Structure 1
Amino acid sequence: MSKTADNLPLGNEELDERRIRIGETAILLLIACVIGTISNYVSTGIGALEALPGMGFLYLCSVVGLMLARFVPFYLPAVAWVSLIAIVATIPGVPGSGWVVQQADKINFLSLATPALAYGGLALSAKEFDIARRSGWKIVIVAICVMLGTYLGSVVIADLALRFF
């Protein structure tokens, strides 16, 4: 059976986190940490060696969270495990929490989001191109209007915020 644009799966099928290959994902997370460290340096001027402990903590939380999501007998999404680990590690009174917070303060979390969002915006698959082709030219007009409206709305809000606050 050949795949046409009419019978392509949309790719939003549920991902079972218990099937994630942790080794492969850990390597991808390591690459993301390297890119994040570079982005952090560009935005804050904090060097890689100075940001390494904080970035290492984030990496460790992520990998441990993935492992818990895969091996714990009850289901909790990996993002919840990662958040839970990071929250517990930074609670005042937990041994080492002061050091963890001090190291995490050296990382600009907005600079970590920028490369991830850029990749998300550029990562288009053949499936998505087929869906866009099937949608036709009208989707282009809608997309342009949405982007223009979002941009202009952001400009108005930023202008008002900067004028009055």
Structure 2
Amino acid sequence: MTNQNTSANYADDLPLNPEDERKLDVIGHAGLLIIACAIGLVANWVGTGTSPLTALPGMATLYAACIVGLALARFVPFYLPSVAWVSLIAILITIPGVPGAAWVSEQVEHLNFLALATPALAYGGLALTANEFAIARRSGWKIVIVAICVMVGTYMGSVVVADLFLRLGQ
């Protein structure tokens, strides 16, 4: 049995149909977003010391922007990814001159982006699907070597850039 690892084989396994997002369960995602917001409030509290009650209006605003963006991705007759819709809504509600933009910006100031992004990125890094495991099994041990080289190279590149900028700052 020969193992032909071609890009066509991988493409058959990946769900690339944009219409799949059009069937998004907005209500189900709304519940999951509440959990993510709660974790974000705790992470913001731990990371910055800002009380969750102080940060709650800003988080509620982000939650509302996400729900509106998901609803638009689900119901608008042309395709645009939900992340683009959410970003567009967030940009629109913070444009100076838009009614309420000053209030939105003031409320969101209580949220630290890194504190919110850390749990999401940790989950994203740890969440592996069955499809990803199948791809890894087909790729074999060579992919492990490539992954290690990429990680070491990225780390070393970051070290060089950080060292260069730290030396320039002295």
Superposed pair shares fold, TM > 0.5: yes
Q: What is the letter of the counterpart of residue 27 of structure 2?
A: G
- Structure 1's 53 and 118: CA in aligned 2 closer, same or farther, altered over 3 A? same
Tell me whether 1:41 sits opposite 2:40 in the alignment. Answer: no
Equivalent position of 1:25 in the other structure = 29
Aligned-residue offset at 1:50? 0.5
Q: What is the letter of the counterpart of residue 14 of structure 2?
A: G
Equivalent position of 1:11 in the other structure = 14
Aligned-residue offset at 1:92? 1.4
Q: Deviations over 1:16-47 (max 9, x none)?
A: 22100111011111111111111111211111
Q: Deviations over 1:64-91 (max 9, x none)?
A: 1111111122322222221222112111
Superposition map of 1:54-73 within 5 A: 54-73=58-77
1:123 to 118, 124, 127: 127
Aligned to 2:17, the other structure's residue is in SS state coil
Aligned-residue offset at 1:117? 1.2
Cα separation, 2, equivalents of 1:36 and 1:72? 29
Cα separation, 2, equivalents of 1:137 and 1:108? 40
Tell me whether 1:156 sits opposite 2:160 in the alignment. Answer: yes
Cα separation, 2, equivalents of 1:70 and 1:127? 25
Aligned to 2:13, the other structure's residue is in SS state coil
Note the residue ranges of structure 1 that are not aligned, 5 or more in a row.
Answer: 1-5
Equivalent position of 1:86 in the other structure = 90
Note the residue ranges of structure 2 that are not aligned, 5 or more in a row.
Answer: none
Equivalent position of 1:3 in the other structure = none
Cα separation, 2, equivalents of 1:133 and 1:78? 31
CA RMSD of aligned residues (A): 1.8
Equivalent position of 1:135 in the other structure = 139
Query: Under a length normalisation based on structure 1, what TM-score does the superposition of the two structures give?
Result: 0.89
Percent identical across equivalent pairs? 65
- Structure 1's 140 and 24: CA in aligned 2 closer, same or farther, altered over 3 A? same
Q: What is the letter of the counterpart of residue 79 of structure 1?
A: V
Cα separation, 1, equivalents of 2:146 and 2:78? 42
Cα separation, 2, equivalents of 1:43 and 1:35? 12
Of 149-158 and 125-134, more deviation after overlay is shown by 125-134
Aligned-residue offset at 1:95? 1.7
- Equivalent pairs counted in the alignment come to 160
